[in-house]
Amino acid sequence: MQLTVKLVGPLSRFLPPGCSNNETRLDAADGTNVSGLMKLLNLPEDLKCIVSINDEIVPIGERQSRSLSSSDYVKIIPPLKGG
Amino acid sequence: MGWQRKVLRVNLTEGNVQVEPLNMEWAQQYLGERGLGSKYLYENMDPSVDALDPANVLIFATGPLTGTMASTSGRYAVITKGALTDAIACSNSGGKFGAELKYAGYDILILEGRAPEPSYLKIYDDNVEIVSAEAIWGKSVWETEDYLKSHHQDPLMKVASIGVAGENCVRFACVVNDLHRAAGRSGVGAVMGSKNLKAIAVRGTVGVSVDDPKTFMQVVKDTHAKLAGSDDVKELAAYGTNAMIDMMQEFGGLPTRNFRDVQFEGVDKINPSAMTHVHENGHKNLLANKACFGCTIACGRISHIDKDHFTISNRPEYWHASGGLEYETAFAFGPDCGIDDIDALTFAGFLMNEHGMDPISFGGTLAAAMELYEMGVITDEDTDGVALNFGNAEALTVMAEKTGKFEGFGQILGLGSRRLCEKYGHPGLSMTVKGQEFAGYDSRALQGMGLGYATGNRGACHMKHDVFGPDMEDQSGAGKAVPCKKSQDKISAIDSTGLCWFTSGTWKITDYQAQVDAACEGDWSVERLFETGERIWNLERQFNLAAGLSKADDSLPERLLKEPAKSGTAKGKVNELDRMLPEYYDVRGWDADGVPTQETLERLGL
């Protein structure tokens, strides 16, 4: 399946070259879960971030169990902090 | 050590200057800066007096680590009863002024009364004078600093001053130091103006010392190294705080058009990428970043405006570089007012620094006025003919200047949104707590942030608690009271050290503890820091209760409690304050009315 993923703000450094709007489309095996997607993107294992699928937050404890489908729009957002 | 052990007390009414020893018992209980300044405030005034009455007391407080070789050690705080909030105000700032005040030999500067004529305070170590400000009254912050350095022929002098906004007690006037760093929140500049005090000019030569120099140097070396290797610091330096605007947009917590919406369609035009975009004519908004005293992060932005932009095309006096957009300024002028013109936002930011005003509160007040204008409650007759529609960049810059110069409708905007909305009969449209405008985090998406806003001793503020972690994981009100309380206590302690909170993405509490313990007399454990923070929080609460505030002031605007978020991750949600607040009071050891119990007060030595 093909997934659309947006890496927000400073996380855009993990995108492949040539992406626009901080988005990339990538091929993933059917049944890929959130953790698997993060590995596909070569994100550090200890990366602190928020993951949302179709604007619904996936708790950290559910990243292994939450499978993705080809219509999903995934956002990976850096940790929020005051500024 | 760490402390200078001296307090400078200035009675402006009588023209008296006296130096007294620092109360070391209080220093051991409240540490410095925010905590110790609040203790001196509480003990030196009646909290029920009007904020603009001469009986209000204005305190500038450094921390035991201010001016030391610790990273980010430039912080000082201005503490008073806030003109915007009628609650305790503690507004801290970076730059270089705080360290200079410490080098002059003082932990605390207490300003009492009201000068019979416009004045400024000149501090050269032990040589302290109250000087006529006739030559600078009516001048901007920038003109004032230039004048004082030139007049005293001392380019190394550090200046904290107010603009015309502060002179006229604009409710959200701030104290600006070093041209574009500010003790920005709660109207501390209006209190300074009410005292006829235009500026404080300081040079110090006595230095600072610490209790255990050898240990302190090692701890500082270690904590510097942690910052140098931190991704958080690299991101702050590269993107500045405005990196938050993309995150809040995608999260769905970016307050837009006076909090009617939580996402802004124009965010790509005002985010960090827009700041570094090179236009066809070669112009790029961002020029460099800048650090405060002793800072190894350098989150500050230095920007300039396209000379062809309508705001400055005929005003070469603004063709220079100055303080650029930080997140809160970008949010308050951008999404909250529906404006996506980055040069207009930058220019309005310049005006805030030049005239001495808090951009969060100005933006929030203008957003409320824009909503009232679009409802037909405020008309062109009120606004001097300026169309106050959301999205009108010219309205932003014109009104920023009018407010800064206290002209026309700017005088009404200068009331702040609570008083403005009450004046026009729609108090519910003021997006405030205790009269202070919200920062750029919508509490329908961030529930714990809402609890922190509601219970903030200085009103709505994003810098006095840190519940981001739990808020990112769970968008209900469950389990937010404990982390809210604990973070409030932690930040109260860190705000009392003289260090900057922006280190907290890297440093753990043990890093602050090690620096405090090495610099200060006494055995400063992590537990003691938390207890000190809790004592400070409760002291601030006691001040507010004595000032007449109550449980009713621990609330959020109805919009956030009843109008669900329209989009983003919190679509359909409202803030669950009713669920969180009783639990919070219980965790705090307060009764059902939000009053600290006798047991709590005794436990904290209050």
Distance from the Cα of B387 to chain A's closest Cα (Å) equals: 31
Q: What is the pLDDT of residue A83?
A: 64
- Give CA angle at B123 (B296, B43), nearest 5°: 85
Q: What is the pLDDT of residue B488?
A: 98
Q: Tell me which residue in B241, B246, B472 faces A50 most closely, judged by beta carbons.
A: B472
* Low-confidence stretches of chain B (pLDDT beneath 50): none
Contacts within 8 Å (CB) and 24+ apart, B346-349:
B346/B285, B346/B303, B346/B304, B346/B305, B347/B305, B347/B309, B347/B311, B347/B312, B347/B318, B347/B397, B347/B400, B348/B396, B348/B397, B348/B400, B349/B323, B349/B324, B349/B325
pLDDT band at A20 (very low <50, low <70, confident <90, very high): confident
Distance from the Cα of A83 to chain B's closest Cα (Å) equals: 5
Residues near B515 by beta carbon (within 8 Å), at least 6 away in sequence: B65, B70, B216, B219, B220, B223, B497, B499
Of B38, B111, B25, B100, nearest in space to B66 by CA: B100
Per-residue DSSP letter, B269: G
| B527-546 per-position pLDDT tens digit | 999 999 999 999 999 999 99
Judging contacts by C-beta atoms under 8 Å, the chain A residues touching residue B94 are none
The answer to whether B339 touches B347, Cβ cutoff 8 Å, is no
The answer to whether B177 touches B158, Cβ cutoff 8 Å, is yes
| B221-249 per-position pLDDT tens digit | 999 999 999 988 998 998 899 999 999 99
**SS3 of B367, please?**
helix
DSSP codes of every residue in B438-480: P-S--TTT-HHHHHHHHH-TTSS-SSS---HHHHHH--SSTT-
Judged against a pLDDT cut of 90, whether residue A47 lies above it is answered with no
User: Which residue of B242, B246, B467, B475 is the best one to mutate when testing the A interface, meaning the one whose CB has the most A CBs within 10 A?
Assistant: B246
**SS3 of B22, please?**
coil
Judging contacts by C-beta atoms under 8 Å, the chain B residues touching residue A78 are 235, 243, 247
Q: What is the pLDDT of residue A21?
A: 87
Judging contacts by C-beta atoms under 8 Å, the chain A residues touching residue B567 are 55
Instruction: Indicate if ipTM > 0.90.
Output: yes
DSSP codes of every residue in B404-430: HTT-TTHHHHTT-HHHHHHHTT-GGG-
Contact (CB<8Å) B243/A60 = no
Of B541, B560, B550, nearest in space to B606 by CA: B541
- Restricting to A residues 2-31, those with a Cβ less than 8 Å away from any Cβ of B are 6, 8-10
Count CB-CB contacts under 10 A for residue B375: 11
Contact (CB<8Å) B501/A10 = no
Contact (CB<8Å) B463/A78 = no
Count CB-CB contacts under 10 A for residue B91: 25
H or E segment to which residue B202 belongs: strand B197-203
Strands of B50-177 (E only): list them: 58-62, 76-81, 88-93, 108-112, 119-124, 127-132, 158-161, 175-177
> From A50, which residue of chain B is nearest by alpha-carbon distance?
B472
| Interatomic CA distance for residues B467 and B491, integer angstroms | 12
Residue B477 Cα distances to B45, B260, B271, B433, B456, angstroms: 37, 21, 30, 18, 17
DSSP codes of every residue in B205-253: -S----S-HHHHHHHHHHHHHHHHT-HHHHHHHHH-GGGHHHHHHHHT-
| B268-278 per-position pLDDT tens digit | 999 999 999 99
Q: Tell me which residue in B242, B463, B469 faces A82 most closely, judged by beta carbons.
A: B463
| Interatomic CA distance for residues B256 and B341, integer angstroms | 15
Q: Tell me which residue in B243, B462, B475 faces A82 most closely, judged by beta carbons.
A: B462
Q: Tell me which residue in A10, A50, A80 faces B239 most closely, judged by beta carbons.
A: A10
Judging contacts by C-beta atoms under 8 Å, the chain A residues touching residue B569 are 52, 55-57
Residue B316 Cα distances to B287, B355, B394, B404, angstroms: 18, 18, 18, 19
Residues near B289 by beta carbon (within 8 Å), at least 6 away in sequence: B237, B240, B298, B299, B300, B301, B302
| Interatomic CA distance for residues B506 and B326, integer angstroms | 20
- Does the model's pTM come out above 0.95? yes
| B156-204 per-position pLDDT tens digit | 999 999 999 999 999 999 999 999 999 999 999 999 999 999 999 999 9
Q: What is the pLDDT of residue B265?
A: 98
Residue B556 Cα distances to B143, B218, B329, B435, B452, angstroms: 39, 46, 22, 11, 10
Distance from the Cα of B328 to chain A's closest Cα (Å) equals: 7
**Tokens of residue B531, six digits:** 């207890």
